[in-house]
C-alpha cells in the first residue's frame, strides 16, 4: 500500500507475503503432524 508504484518495494512485499504464508503452512502442518503422532502413540 505504501509502495506508491515502486516496483522494488512491490516485489519485496510479495516476497515477504510468500515467506509468511510458507511459515504459516509449516506451523499448521507441524501442529497437525504432532497431534497425529501423539494420538497414534497414546491409542
Alpha carbon separation from 15 to 18, 20, 23, 39 (Å, rounded) = 5, 9, 12, 36
pTM across the whole model: 0.72
What span, in angstroms and rounded, lies between the C-alpha atoms of 18 and 36?
Answer: 27
For the segment 1-43, what is each residue's pLDDT rounded down to a tens digit?
676 778 898 999 999 999 999 999 999 999 999 999 999 999 7
Task: Give Dmax (Cα) for the chain.
Answer: 56
Contact 2, 10 (CB under 8 A): no
The whole-number pLDDT of residue 4 equals 78
Instruction: State the distance between the two ends of the chain, measured CA to CA, in whole angstroms.
Output: 50
Amino acid at each position: 500500500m505504501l509502495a506508491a508504484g515502486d516496483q522494488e518495494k512491490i516485489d519485496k512485499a510479495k516476497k515477504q507475503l510468500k515467506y509468511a504464508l510458507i511459515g504459516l503452512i509449516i506451523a499448521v502442518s507441524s501442529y497437525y503432524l504432532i497431534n497425529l503422532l501423539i494420538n497414534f502413540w497414546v491409542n
